[in-house]
Amino acid sequence: MVGLGEVAVPGAYRSRPDFDRAVPDRLGLRCGCGLRLRELAPNSREILAGRLLTVRGYYQRTGSINPAAYRLVLELRQGDGAAAAGAWPLGPTAPAGSDWLAGVYDLRVPATVEPGEYRLMGRLLGPEGRPETLVGGLGRNLTEVDLGLVRVSVPERRFDPPQPAHPADVYYGNLLHLLGYTLETGDEGRLRVTLYWQVLGSSDRKLKVSVQLFDGPRLVAQDDGVPVNWTRPASTWVPGEYLTDRHEITLPPGIPPNNLTMLVIVYDEATGRRLGVTGPEATGDAAAFALR
């Protein structure tokens, strides 16, 4: 099974009497491998399709287990099928004298998952890839643990093509197709630019749209953000849907909206790298439009 996220493990904690009281022991499961699973729970019981479901785990070593040799498997299930699944190393090799471990696991919920309630299940795989037996209360033997329900919601999606006032035909890599824009002016230099996108694919990158207004060579106003008022990160996109992406911009005093040049850029927030642009309005790694 391939993990669909990363595990960040704060590390091992030295034995402390107060830590034993502070860490919850809701699971109370013992493994013959030398580990006690005290807690394994998501940060939230509600998740938007396409986002990461963060699960935190707390463990207590009761033997000479090497956590790096074991893998935690998490699945979101509905009926007999798994809508999302991931597997990660339980944690790093604990330093000598440490008996507490904590792990953070990010499970990607695919954007195409149907809305509804899913059951979060977990199991521990040993060094040979077989499920470990966990002993719970009343001597119950378990090979997987029910971690409760998670409700998955989906954003409102639009599949009917928009009719922008100013059509365009610009492609940003293999992810977005800019169909055009509308322009609305208000008092005191307020300007609303609405971009109309057709989604071609999704991405785990933190992509932002930048709308930049130039008066000749001078940048006079700009608005950057995740599409659809920060509600539709690239991981939630589904090919074929359309996004209506509004950007509110205020121009400096004395700068009218006409005779400006608008650049539309899509970039990776983490690296600053821009998506490649092709089409009649493409200029380098941006699309350029003369506002009239």
**pLDDT tens per residue across span 224-283:** 999 999 999 999 999 999 999 999 999 999 898 888 999 999 999 999 999 999 999 999
- Overall CATH class of domain 166-290: mainly beta
In the prediction, which pLDDT does 15 show? 42
Identify the sign of the CA torsion 133, 135, 141, 145. Answer: negative
Asked whether the beta carbons of 196 and 179 are under 8 A apart, the reply is yes
Sheet-wide strand order for 81-89: 46-48, 145-153, 116-125, 71-78, 81-89
Residue 3 pLDDT greater than 50, yes or no:
no
The domains of the chain are located at: 7-153, 166-290
For the chain, the helix, strand and coil percentages under 3-state DSSP, each to the nearest 5: 10, 55, 40
In the prediction, which pLDDT does 63 show? 84
Sheet-wide strand order for 207-215: 218-225, 207-215, 261-268, 286-290, 282-283
**pLDDT tens per residue across span 28-53:** 899 999 999 999 999 999 999 999 99
Nearest CA among 169, 141, 156 for reference residue 238? 156
The end-to-end CA distance of the chain, in Å, is 55
In the prediction, which pLDDT does 98 show? 63
Higher pLDDT, 192 or 12: 192
HEC-encoded secondary structure of 54-74: EEEEEEEECCCCCHHHCEEEE
In the prediction, which pLDDT does 22 show? 63
Residue 81 β-bridge partners? 78
Residue 21 pLDDT greater than 60, yes or no:
no
Query: How far apart are alpha carbons 252 and 234 in whole angstroms?
Result: 31
pTM of the entire structure? 0.83
In the prediction, which pLDDT does 92 show? 63
In the prediction, which pLDDT does 1 show? 31
In the prediction, which pLDDT does 94 show? 54
In the prediction, which pLDDT does 168 show? 98
In sequence order, the 6+-apart residues with CB closer than 8 A to the CB of 81 are none
Query: How far apart are alpha carbons 129 and 114 in whole angstroms?
Result: 30
Runs of H (alpha helix) within the chain: 17-22, 227-230
Q: Average pLDDT, whole number, for the chain?
A: 89
In the prediction, which pLDDT does 4 show? 38
**pLDDT tens per residue across span 77-108:** 998 889 999 999 987 655 555 687 888 899 99
DSSP secondary structure string for all residues of 250-291: EPPTT--STT-EEEEEEEETTT-PBPPEESTTEETTEEEEE-
In the prediction, which pLDDT does 119 show? 97
Query: How far apart are alpha carbons 148 and 50 in whole angstroms?
Result: 20
Average pLDDT for 183-206: 94
Res. 6 pLDDT band, cuts 50 70 90: very low
* CATH entry, 7-153, from 2.30.30.230, 2.60.40.770, 1.10.150.120, 3.40.50.300: 2.60.40.770
Q: Of 99-103, 208-212, 213-217, 258-262, where does mean pLDDT reach its minimum? A: 99-103
Query: How far apart are alpha carbons 31 and 34 in whole angstroms?
Result: 6
Query: Which amino acid, residue 52?
Result: L
Query: Which amino acid, residue 180?
Result: G
Residue whose entry in the numeric block shows the structure tokens 């953000």: 225
In the prediction, which pLDDT does 17 show? 43
In sequence order, the 6+-apart residues with CB closer than 8 A to the CB of 117 are 78, 149, 150, 151, 152
**pLDDT tens per residue across span 107-122:** 999 999 999 999 999 9
Higher pLDDT, 21 or 24: 24
Average pLDDT for 190-194: 96
**pLDDT tens per residue across span 122-171:** 999 999 999 999 998 777 899 999 999 999 999 999 999 999 999 999 99
Q: Measuring CA to CA, how many Å separate 254 from each of 189, 212, 257? A: 8, 17, 10
